Structure 1
Amino acid sequence: MLNILAISGSLRAASTNSALLAALVRNAPPGCRVTVHDGLDRLPIFNPDDEGERTPREAFRLIDAVTGADGLVVSCPEYAHGVPGGLKNALDWLVSRDAAIAKPAMLAHASPRSLFARAALAEIMRTMSFAMYDGELEIALLGKKPAEMEVILAEPEKVLAMRNAVQGFADFIRSH
Structure 2
Amino acid sequence: MKKKILAIVGSASENSSNLKLVQHISNLISDEVEIEIFDQLAQLPHFNSEQSQDNPPALITKIRQAILAADGILISSPEYVFSIPSGLKNLLEWCVATTVFTQKPACLITASASGKMGHEELKFIMKTLDAKISENTCLLISGVKGKLDADGKPLDEDLTVALLNLIRHFEMEL
- Which TM-score applies when normalising by structure 1? 0.85
Distance (whole Å) between structure 1 residues aligned to residue 98 and residue 128 of structure 2? 13
Structure 1 contact 29–166 (Cα < 8 Å) conserved: no
Partner SS state of residue 6, structure 1: strand
> Which residue does the alignment assign to 2:60?
59
RMSD: 2.4
Shift of 1:149: 2.9
Deviations 1:74-131 (A, max 9, x none): 1111111111110000001111111011111111232361000000110011011111
Matched to 1:48, the amino acid is S
What stretches of structure 2 of length at least 5 have no aligned partner? none
Q: CA deviation at 1:67?
A: 0.3
CA–CA distance in 1 between the matches of 2:153 and 2:53?
44
Rounded to whole Å, the distance in 1 between the matches of 2:55 and 2:40 is 18
| Map 1:124-139 → 2, pairs under 5 A | 124-135=125-136, 136-138=138-140
In the TM superposition, residue 172 of structure 1 has moved relative to its aligned partner by 2.0
Q: Is the 8 Å Cα contact of residues 7 and 72 (structure 1) preserved in structure 2? A: yes
In structure 1, distance between residues paired with 2:64 and 2:115: 26
Letter in 1 for 2:63: L
Tell me the equivalent position of 2:19. Answer: 18
* TM-score, scaled to structure 2: 0.86
Code of the residue aligned with 2:27 in structure 1: it is: R
In the alignment, is the contact (CA less than 8 A) between 1:66 and 1:72 conserved in 2? yes
What's the counterpart of residue 108 of structure 2?
A: 107
Q: Does 1:143 align with 2:145?
A: yes
Further displaced range: 132-141 or 90-99: 132-141
State how far apart, in whole Å, the 2-side matches of 1:30 and 1:162 are.
Answer: 17
Sort the Cα spacing of 1:170 and 1:143 in 2 relative to 1 into closer, same or farther, 3 A.
closer
Identity of aligned residues (%): 27
Does the 8 Å CA contact 2:19/2:39 hold for their aligned counterparts?
Answer: no
8 Å CA contact retained: 2:6, 2:67: yes
Other-structure match for 1:164: 165
Quick one: distance in 1 between partners of 2:112 and 2:150?
A: 12
Residue aligning to 2:99: 98
- Size of the aligned set, in residue pairs, is 172
Separation in structure 1 between the aligned mates of residue 6 and residue 152 of structure 2, nearest angstrom: 24
